[in-house]
């Protein structure tokens, strides 16, 4: 069964829902609602990674993220922390987070590898070529599928050589990060290049710009939820471990259909 990772942005400036869950109590209520609707993991992030987003001071990231992580863990919810900062990752794991979801795959902070080595948390290795202010300039490929798969595999191998157990790693192709629309669709159409590596794969397509480009006239990001759920179902059918989404309810329904379809193929 494909895991659903519900997105909880405790930021004022996320591209999708910035400010909605900035208040701690609102964030907790929203997280509980996502779990009730079918989320298996709540991914808590305190820094926007949209193209062009400014960096956030580490002390501010701690202030935003850690109280929410502690409260969710206390309520029995499995938590992932979305951070590029080693100190935030370490503090969140100490507070009970089970996964460190680093959009840089550990490349943004040279101390992140030591944090991963020093904890039992799982680690998301995302494909990354630079921070938000330069990612658009880095969207240059000769063969996007081969290059993305190769760069993720190299980064995972570096962590394994350092001593991180392979079963603790999760791979993420980094849709929207240093990739334009055609790049994203090519990577999605060839997810088998990643799943063939034998490491769990996480896909985060929810509400991203390339989804919105399918309907140029739409302006509200919520209008991308249906297409995002379709992508999640197709990704599940192609063997991914998990999907990271905003709309948990719609995604849960889409995954239920995909899983029933797969069972029918086996049992038929």
Q: Does pLDDT of 95 surpass 70? A: yes
The tokens describing 174, both together, are 């980094």
* C-alpha separations of 112 from 100, 141, 208, 244 in Å: 10, 27, 26, 22
DSSP category for residue 239: T
Q: What is the mean pLDDT of the chain?
A: 91
Residue 15 confidence (pLDDT): 47
Cβ–Cβ < 8 Å for 179, 187: yes
Query: How does pLDDT run across 146-172, given as a tens digit for each residue?
Result: 999 999 999 999 999 999 999 999 999
- Nearest-angstrom CA–CA distance, 116 and 123: 7
Q: What is the pTM of this model?
A: 0.92
In the chain, what is the greatest distance between 2 CA atoms, to the nearest angstrom? 56
Q: What is the dihedral of CA 95, 97, 100, 101, to 10 degrees?
A: -120
Ordered alpha helix ranges (H), 21-180:
24-36, 58-74, 86-94, 112-117, 144-162
Per-residue pLDDT, averaged over 246-255, amounts to 97
Q: Does pLDDT of 130 surpass 90? A: no
Query: How does pLDDT run across 222-237, given as a tens digit for each residue?
Result: 899 999 999 999 999 9
* C-beta atoms surrounding 140 within 10 Å: 11
Query: How does pLDDT run across 186-196, given as a tens digit for each residue?
Result: 999 999 999 99
Residue 23 confidence (pLDDT): 65
- Nearest-angstrom CA–CA distance, 50 and 12: 12
Model confidence at 258, pLDDT cuts 50, 70, 90, reads very high
- Nearest-angstrom CA–CA distance, 119 and 249: 32
Cβ–Cβ < 8 Å for 31, 74: no
Q: Does pLDDT of 202 surpass 50? A: yes
Q: Mention every residue, 6+ apart, whose C-beta is less than 8 A from residue 109.
A: 84, 85, 86
Among candidates 58, 55, 71, which has minimal Cα distance to 132? 55
Catalytic residue numbers, as ranges: 208, 244
Give the residue, 138 or 42, on which the prediction is more confident: 42
Among candidates 47, 127, 42, 54, which has minimal Cα distance to 85? 47
Q: Does pLDDT of 177 surpass 70? A: yes
**Crossing angle of helices 24-36 and 58-74, rounded to 10°:** 50
Residue 56 confidence (pLDDT): 82
* C-beta atoms surrounding 19 within 10 Å: 13
Residue 53 confidence (pLDDT): 65
Model confidence at 20, pLDDT cuts 50, 70, 90, reads low
């Amino acid at each position: 069964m494909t895991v659903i990772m519900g997105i909880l942005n405790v930021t004022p400036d996320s591209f999708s829902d910035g400010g909605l869950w900035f208040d701690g109590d609102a964030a907790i209520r929203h997280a509980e609602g996502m779990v009730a609707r079918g989320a298996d993991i709540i991914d808590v992030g305190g820094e926007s990674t949209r193209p062009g987003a400014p960096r956030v001071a580490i002390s501010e990231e701690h202030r935003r993220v850690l109280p929410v992580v502690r409260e969710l863990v206390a309520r029995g919810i499995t938590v992932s922390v979305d951070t590029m900062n080693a100190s935030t990752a370490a503090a969140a794991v100490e507070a009970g987070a089970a996964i460190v979801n680093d959009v840089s795959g550990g490349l943004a902070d040279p101390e992140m590898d030591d944090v991963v080595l020093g904890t039992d948390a799982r680690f998301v290795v995302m494909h990354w070529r630079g921070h938000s202010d330069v990612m658009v300039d880095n969207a240059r490929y000769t063969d996007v599928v081969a290059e993305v798969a190769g760069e993720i595999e190299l980064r995972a191998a570096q962590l394994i050589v350092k001593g991180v157990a392979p079963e603790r790693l999760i791979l993420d192709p980094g849709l929207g990060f240093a990739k334009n629309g055609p790049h994203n669709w090519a990577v999605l159409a060839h997810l088998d290049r990643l799943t063939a590596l034998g490491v769990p794969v996480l896909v985060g397509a929810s509400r991203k710009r390339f989804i919105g480009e399918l309907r140029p006239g739409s302006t509200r990001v919520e209008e991308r939820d249906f297409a995002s759920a379709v992508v999640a179902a197709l990704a599940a059918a192609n063997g991914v471990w998990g999907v990271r989404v905003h709309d948990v309810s719609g995604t849960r329904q889409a995954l239920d259909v995909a899983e029933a379809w797969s069972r029918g193929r086996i049992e038929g």
